[in-house]
Structure 1
Amino acid sequence: MAGLRVRRNFWDLQDEYDKGNKKPLDTLIRAFKGIYELSPDNPNSFFFLAGLHGEPFRGAGWGNASWWGGYCNHGNVLFPTWHRAYCFALESALQSIHGCKDVTLPYWNEIEKNTQERGIPGAFLKKKWTFEDGGVIDNPLYSYKFQQKITDNLPSSRDDADYSKGDGYVTCRYPYSGLVGPADKEKTDAHNAEINKLGDDKVNQILNENVKSWLLHTDVDGQKGRGGVLQKYFSCLEAPNYTVFSNTTSATQWNEDHFNEGLPTSATVSPRLVQHVVPLESPHNDIHVSIGGFEYGDGHFDGKYPGANGDMGENDTAAFDPVFFFHHCFIDAMFWQWQKEHGKTKQLDIIPQYPGTNSVDSQGPTPGTPGGTWLTLDTPLDPFQLPGTTKTMKSKDVIDIETRLGYTYSPIKGLPRKTPSAAAPDAAAPGAATPDASRANLVRISGINRGIIPGSFVLSTWTTTENGEERLVGFHSTLSRWHVQGCANCQTHLRVKTFVPLYGLSKDQASKVTVKLHTRDDPKGSTAREGGKPIPYVVGHLLGKE
C-alpha cells in the first residue's frame, strides 16, 4: 500500500483522540469546518457537495415529480459506483483546505464491537468541539447549518408536502424532526421542544440505542444479530455477482427468479437449495432510517417519538447530515471488500438489461439521463469529473480504487471469519449454491405501492409464540423520497416486493407470519393493506436453476 492514502476506521481515530492523540481527529474537524465556510456556490463547499445528492433539485426534477432532481443513484447498478465517486469528491474537497492536504475520509465501521456496544462514535454527538489548542467551535460533525435556503418546487396532492429548508436550518437526527415546511413547522417546533427537555445525554442515548437495536436484532431463537443489519452486512458479501450485490432492484429479481412456494421438504433439501441475496443497498437503507427517524427498540417498533423525521431518513436532504459521508465511506469499504473476496478489483460485470439496469428503475432518471436508458459501466457518473480533467467519471474509472483513485482501506474489523472465496460465478449465470437449508426459508412480500407513501417506510414480519407473544422476525426498509407519488416515469416500478428470511422459525411458525407497514404517518405500524385487504405474502424457499 506504499503511496496510497489509507482511509481509516473512524473508531480508531476516536479512540486515539480519547487517549490523548488529538491531532488526526482535530485535523479532520478543521477540514470540515473549512468546507462549511466556503461560499455555497464553491464546488468544494459542503453546501454544494451535499446538494448534489438530492435537494436542491435541478434539471427536469426541479419542478416535475416525474423525474428525480438529485444526481444520486438508488435501486440500480450505479448505486455503489456513484457513491464511490461522491465520497471521493468530498474527500478531495477536504484536502483543499489549508493544512489538510493529507486528510482522508474515515469510515464509520458499522459492524465492529464498538458500534455494537456504543452506537455512533462520540465525535458525532457533541454540539461543540474543543481543539487541542483550546479553540472551541460548533462541531461540524454534529450538524450542518444551511448557508442558504432550498425550495421544494414540486407539486403534490398533499397539503403538508412542502419540504423546503430555510436559510439557517440545522440538520437533525432521531429523535428530532427536521420538517419545517409551512404546514409542519408548528408541529416540529413543539416536538423538538419536548425532545430538548430530555437533555443532550439522554437524546444521544436514545439515538445510539436505536442504531444498536437495528444492528443487533435478536431473532425468535434468541440469537443476537441474526436477522438485523449486522447479518445483512455479512450476507451481502456472499452475493454471487456485482449486479445483484449492487442494488435492491436486481437482488429482488434474483430472489424472485429462484423462489419456490412452500417450505422445503426432505426431497428438496439438497445442494441446489440457495440462500437469498442481500444487496449492499439493503443494510445501507436500514442505517439511514435508524438515524433518520424510524424507531426500533426491544424487538418492537414502539413509536415513542412519532414526530421524528431526521434528515438521514429520506434521500432529499440526507447528504446534508455530515454522518452521511462516514456511513457511505463504510458502504464503499464493504464494496471494496466484496470486490477483493470475489476477485473483482479490476473488472466488474453487469448483467445486460436485468432489472436494476435501467434509468427508470426504482427512483426515476437523474438529471441529464433520458428515461429508458440502459445503465452500463460506461454510463456517466454525473456530475463528477476525473481528477485533473474535464472528463466525466464512469463506473469503469472507479472500479480499482488503488490504481485509479489512489486510496485504500484499513482492514475492516468485525468481518465474519472465512476462507477467501474464489472468483464469483459468471455474471450471466447468477446463483452460487449452498446446502444450508435453514437459511433459505423466507417470506415474499408484495403488493405495496410506494407511490402513495410519502417518504421512507419499513415492512416488518412477525410471528406469534406459543404463549401468544408477538415477536419480530425481520424487517425491510425502503429509503425513498418525499414526492415519489408523482414519478410517472417509474410508475411500473412502484410496486414494492421484498424477501425477508425467517431465521429461527419452525415450519408452523413460518406458515403463520404477519406483515406490518410502518410509515411516517404511522411509525408504530399496522397490518399492511392495500384496497382494504391485507397485502399478499407467500412463505417459501430458494432453489438454484438447472
Structure 2
Amino acid sequence: MENNESGIRVRRSLRELEDLYDSGTPAPLENLMLAWKGIKELPVNDPNSLFTIGGYHGEPFRDQGATDGNYWGGYCNHNNVLFPTWHRVYLYKIENALRSIKGCEEVTLPYWDETEHESLSKGMPWSLTREQVSIRGHMVDNPLRSYKFQIAINDNVNNDNSTYSKPAGTDTVRYPYSGLVGTPAAKAKSDKHNSQFSASQGTNLLNGNITGWLNKTVSLPDIDKRLQLGGVHVLYTLCLDAPNYTVFSNQKSAASWNMIPSKDPVVVALETPHNDIHLSVGGFNIPGPNNPDFSPIPGANGDMGENDTAAFDPVFFFHHCNVDRMFWIWQKKHDFTNHFQIIPGFPGTNSDDGGPSAGYPKNEPLTLDSPLKPFLNSATGTFYTTRECINIETQLGYVYTVGSLDLIHWMHGEELAAQEKLTTNKLRVANINRGNIFGSFVLTAYATVDGKEHYIGHHSVLSRWNVLGCENCRAHLKTEAYFNLDKINPDLSNFRIEIIGREEAQPLLNAAIADNSIVMEII
C-alpha cells in the first residue's frame, strides 16, 4: 500500500493485505476500505466520487448512446484494441481518487489475484464479501461489498424497457441475486428471487460459481494438454502466448487472427478470461455437461454480468487491476514494456468494433494515439493515449508485486524460438449475431468421442443489455469462437454447440441454433 524506495506506487494483491490485517497489521487494508468509503460518500457531481467514476464505464449513458442503441453510451472500450489501455488509465483514475481521501494518500489499488491457489480453491477474497468488517476497532458495513446508488439512473435507450434503471437507494448485487429493478414488475420479481438466499448462502453460491469458472478443464486425451481450453486459469495462461498486441488485446482481433488459414493453436485474447470473471460474478453458471444446470440460476442478474452498471460494484476495479497485471505480464514476457504496435486496418482497430463508445464517431480508426476519453493527462492537458501508458513504471509510476502466472525473468528471443511449436485443427463457430441477443451470453462447444459427449471449451461474451435492432451491431458485433481439436475426428457431425443467455434472450438463441443459421467449420 506504500511507495517503494524509488517512489513508485506498489500494487499488492488483496490477499496480501488480508494476511497483514489478520496478522496484526490492519492499517493497509483499513485505509483501503476507508478510501472506498470516502469516494462512495462524495457528492455525485464530485469528479472523485464513485458515482462519477463508476459511471464512466456505462450508465448513466451519454451523447447519442443515451437513447440510440446504435451507439454505446459509456466511455469504455471493449472488443477493440483500446480495451487494455482504456481500462489501464481508468484504474489510474480511481486510484488517484482513492488517494484524494484525507488520511488515505498512500493507498494503492490492489488486485484480486484470480489464479492464485486461494482463489482457485475458495473464490473471492473475504474482504470483498463480508457484510461487516472491523476498521480501527469499530464494526462497519463493508465498503468493498457493494455500492448504494445515491441518485437514480434512468435507462432511456430505445427498446430497453428501463431494464437497467436504478432508483436511488438501490444496492449493487452479485450472483445469485438480481439487480433488475427498473420497473415495478421487475423489482417485484427480483425481490421475490433475492428472498430465497441469506447473505451467507449468497456468498457460498457466489464463491462456488467463481471456483467453477476458474478451474474448468477439458478432460479429453484426444486433445494435448497444452492445447486444451477451459476455465479462467487456463485462459489467462494461454493469453500470455498471444503473438502481438493487436490480437492479445481483444476478442474481435483474436477471432480474425484465428480465422487465418493455418494449423496454429487458437490465440486467446486477454478480454476472454476477463469476460469469464464478469459473468461468474454477475450471474452465469459455469457451462459444461457435468453441471446439473447449464443456465444461470433463474433470475440471477448481478451488476457485473453486463457492461451497463458493472463498474459500480467495487469488485470491478479489483478484477480489472488483475487484468491490467496480466497485461503487464504479457508485456514483460514479449519484451513489449516500452513499445508495441497496432496492426493498421486489422479487425478490432475501428471505433465501430464494440461501439462506437461515447465521444467517438463512427468508423474511426483506432491507433496508439487515439484519445482514451474522458481521461485527461494533467501534464499535457489532453486526453491520455495508449502511447502514454505503455510502461506502467516510467509513464504511470506504479508496479505490481509478483503474483500468480508472473516470473522474475521471462525468456525472450532465441529462448522462446526454441520452444516446441504445436499444430492443430480448429473448430470455427460463426455467424452469431449479437443484434439478436439481450445481454451477455456463453457459447459452449462439445465433441462426441467414442459415443460420449465431451466439453471442449466455451466462449463468453460480455455485452450491454440492449443491442436488438442495432444496425451497427449487426454489421460489426458478429461473434465468432474457435476451439482446438488436435486428434478429434474433424467430421462436423461430431460437434454440437450450446448458447446460454439471459431468460429473455433464450428463445432467440434456441431458434438460431435450430434453424442452422450458425456456421460451424473445420479450419
Task: Report the CA distance between 1:29 and its aligned residue.
Answer: 0.3
For structure 1, which runs of at least 5 residues remain unmatched after alignment? 260-272, 426-430, 542-546
Is it true that 1:382 corresponds to 2:386 in the alignment? no
Match of 1:194 among 193, 196, 211: 196
Alignment of 1:122-521 (within 5 A): 122-131=126-135, 133-156=136-159, 160=161, 162-182=163-183, 183-195=185-197, 199-221=198-220, 227-258=230-261, 273-296=263-286, 299-300=290-291, 301-303=293-295, 305-361=297-353, 363-387=354-378, 390-415=381-406, 420-422=411-413, 435-437=421-423, 440-464=424-448, 466=450, 468=452, 470-502=453-485, 506-507=488-489, 512-521=494-503
The 2-side partners of 1:218 and 1:338 are apart by 22
The 2-side partners of 1:417 and 1:41 are apart by 43
In structure 2, relative to structure 1, the CA distance for the partners of 1:406 and 1:343 (3 Å cut) is: same
What RMSD, in angstroms, separates the aligned Cα atoms of the two structures?
2.7
Asked if 2 retains the 8 angstrom alpha-carbon contact of 1:244 and 1:250, the reply is yes
Give per-residue Cα distances to partners, 1:57-83, cap 9 Å, x unaligned.
Answer: 011111111111100000000000000
In structure 2, relative to structure 1, the CA distance for the partners of 1:525 and 1:297 (3 Å cut) is: farther
The 1-side partners of 2:473 and 2:435 are apart by 9
Give per-residue Cα distances to partners, 1:283-321, cap 9 Å, x unaligned.
Answer: 100110010000127743533621100000000000011
The 2-side partners of 1:535 and 1:441 are apart by 23
Could you say what secondary structure the match of 2:332 adopts? Answer: helix
Percent identity at matched positions? Answer: 45
Task: Report the CA distance between 1:226 and its aligned residue.
Answer: 5.0
Asked if 2 retains the 8 angstrom alpha-carbon contact of 1:274 and 1:432, the reply is no
Could you say what secondary structure the match of 2:57 adopts? Answer: coil
Q: TM-score under structure 1 normalisation?
A: 0.88
Asked if 1 retains the 8 angstrom alpha-carbon contact of 2:351 and 2:364, the reply is yes
Task: Report the CA distance between 1:127 and its aligned residue.
Answer: 1.3
Task: Report the CA distance between 1:506 and its aligned residue.
Answer: 3.3
The 1-side partners of 2:178 and 2:418 are apart by 43
The 1-side partners of 2:130 and 2:254 are apart by 38
Could you say what secondary structure the match of 2:218 adopts? Answer: coil
Aligned AA for 1:138?
D
Could you say what secondary structure the match of 1:370 adopts? Answer: coil
Task: Report the CA distance between 1:281 and its aligned residue.
Answer: 0.4
Q: TM-score under structure 2 normalisation?
A: 0.92
Asked if 2 retains the 8 angstrom alpha-carbon contact of 1:215 and 1:228, the reply is yes
Task: Report the CA distance between 1:488 and its aligned residue.
Answer: 2.9
Q: Which moved more, 1:80-89 or 1:137-146?
A: 137-146
Could you say what secondary structure the match of 1:136 adopts? Answer: strand
Paired position in structure 1 for 2:512 = 530
The 2-side partners of 1:112 and 1:497 are apart by 30
Task: Report the CA distance between 1:202 and its aligned residue.
Answer: 2.3
For structure 2, which runs of at least 5 residues remain unmatched after alignment? none
Figure out how many residues of one structure are paired with residues of the other and give that number: 512
The 2-side partners of 1:516 and 1:414 are apart by 31
Match of 1:56 among 55, 60, 64: 60
Paired position in structure 1 for 2:32 = 28
Task: Report the CA distance between 1:389 and its aligned residue.
Answer: 5.1
Asked if 2 retains the 8 angstrom alpha-carbon contact of 1:241 and 1:424, the reply is no
Is it true that 1:71 corresponds to 2:75 in the alignment? yes
The 1-side partners of 2:418 and 2:56 are apart by 37
The 2-side partners of 1:89 and 1:432 are apart by 41
The 1-side partners of 2:388 and 2:46 are apart by 25
Q: Which moved more, 1:11-20 or 1:241-250?
A: 11-20
In structure 2, relative to structure 1, the CA distance for the partners of 1:286 and 1:257 (3 Å cut) is: same
Q: Which moved more, 1:247-256 or 1:478-487?
A: 478-487
Give per-residue Cα distances to partners, 1:184-237, cap 9 Å, x unaligned.
Answer: 111111100112xxx322221111111111111131338799521111101111
